[in-house]
Homo-oligomer: A and B are copies of this chain.
Amino acid sequence: MRQLFMMVAAFAAMTASAQFGPQRGNPVVPSVKAEVEDFKPATTNQENKQFPAVNSKRQVRAQIVAPKATFVGLDIAGKIYEMTKDENGVWTGTSEPQDEGFHYYQLNIDGANVPDPNSKYYYGASRWGSGIDIPAADEDFYTVKNVPQGSVNEVYYWSSVQQKMRHGYIYLPNEYYTNPTKRFPVLYLQHGMGENETGWSAQGKTGIIMDNLIADGKAVPFIIFMDNGLDTRRPGDPDPAQMRRQFGQGGPRPQGGQRPGAQGGRPGGFGRGGFGNFFEAFQEILLKDIIPMVEKNYRVIADTEHRGMAGLSMGGMQTRGITLANPTTFAYVGMFSGGTFSVDDLKDAADFKKTNKVLFMSAGGRETRMAEGDGSVGKAAENLKAIGFNAHSYVSPETAHEWQTWRRSLYQFAQLIFK
């Protein structure tokens, strides 16, 4: 029950954070004065769009033409900044300084929550909508460079579990193409709640991070498969829309006492749509459909020592659940902003311990429960090292439950695995 409590506490902390993006009910605050007028268009803008723009203090300025509107707001990081209209019907507003990295945002026009027509669109906060990348001191590691390029490939495949075609993305390193007889390890990499299979390659910049790491000799070439960890409905399952309504904005509510790590085939003690469902339903698809498909269709080293799983937030909890329930399947395990493994989890897990080569846990520095103190990833790694695990932790400086934390986590984790 302690583990369950900690998972629920971690999840509650997450759901209150920025991953879920703009919410109804965010407070309306006045647009802020710019600390410095050196705004540049965001890199996430549509081609040739001057707004949104970011200044060197990381304030965001948005602009939109809406001559007949009576209210326009910039909804970012939990506040709606009230924009002001000029004589031409052009509304402009400026936010407070934002954290480095990627944030979801939206505009509110007379009560309608809409994407900003100037931004590119990303899937997160349970919708396709606007995103903005705030320049970061360390952005070099996720910047496209003239180095040997792999590719991120969009694939469809048949799911025997769901009896339908599924959709995922596979990163193949450059050497997959240049060395046509070589086989590669595979990392199965999962997104968080409110996100989908596009997140890791789009806002996560997985392909770019990996190409750069491999070119620098910091990571060995490996394959990454990115799938949808929420698309788990099987024939006869209840309507997922209803499940989502049940969870609402407060995150899932456990409905029973089954241990999250327990195997159960179909969702058990937590009820349909409960906590267990998040990893058990996806576990079935991962083990029966995804891994066999990847190992059949690609030049993969199909053994435990060359198979890893990691995920962010809910994807980290899925990783925890699936790797505990299948202790001899994955040698490399990563949880990014997804809580921790505890000594209680692992002290008697002989198969897991024998199999595991790297156990990695990370969090954003602003995720204080996971970043600091007794419940932190650092403390967990220390405790796990003491019982013999090759445990690692990482805290991303000055970032919250957002993609900059997870880009950095992947960058760190990728350097540790399959070596």
Contact = CB atoms under 8 A, between A and B. Distances in A.
A298 B180 CA distance: 10
A252 interface: no
Interface residues of A, number: 56
Contacts of A127: 46, 117
Nearest to A130: B115
Interface stretch (A61-69, A255-263, A340-348): A61-69
Contacts of A240: 48
A398 to B, nearest CB: 29
A386 interface: no
Given A114-B117, A165-B146, A153 B156 contact: no
Contacts of A299: 180
A180 B66 CA distance: 55
Interface in A65-82: 65-72
A240 to B, nearest CB: 7
Q: How many chain copies does the complex carry?
A: 2
B110 A69 contact: yes
Interface in A280-320: 297-299
Interface in A122-167: 127-129, 144-146, 149, 151-158, 165
A358 interface: no
A170 interface: yes
A151 B153 contact: yes
Contacts of A115: 114-115, 117, 121
A309 B129 CA distance: 35
A244 interface: yes
A113 interface: yes
Contacts of A170: 151
A72 B111 CA distance: 12
Contacts of A181: 180
Contact of A154 (B64, B151, B180): B151
B177 A158 contact: no
Nearest to A154: B152
A43 to B, nearest CB: 13
Contact of A149 (B70, B146, B156, B180): B156
A106 B109 CA distance: 15
A145 B244 CA distance: 28
Given A177-B297, A180-B181, 12 more contacts: A46-B128, A48-B240, A65-B111, A107-B114, A112-B114, A115-B115, A115-B117, A117-B129, A120-B128, A146-B165, A151-B153, A151-B170
27 contacts: A46-B127, A46-B128, A64-B112, A64-B114, A65-B113, A66-B112, A69-B109, A69-B110, A69-B111, A69-B112, A70-B110, A112-B114, A115-B115, A115-B121, A117-B129, A144-B165, A145-B165, A146-B165, A149-B155, A149-B156, A151-B155, A151-B170, A152-B154, A154-B201, A177-B298, A180-B180, A180-B181
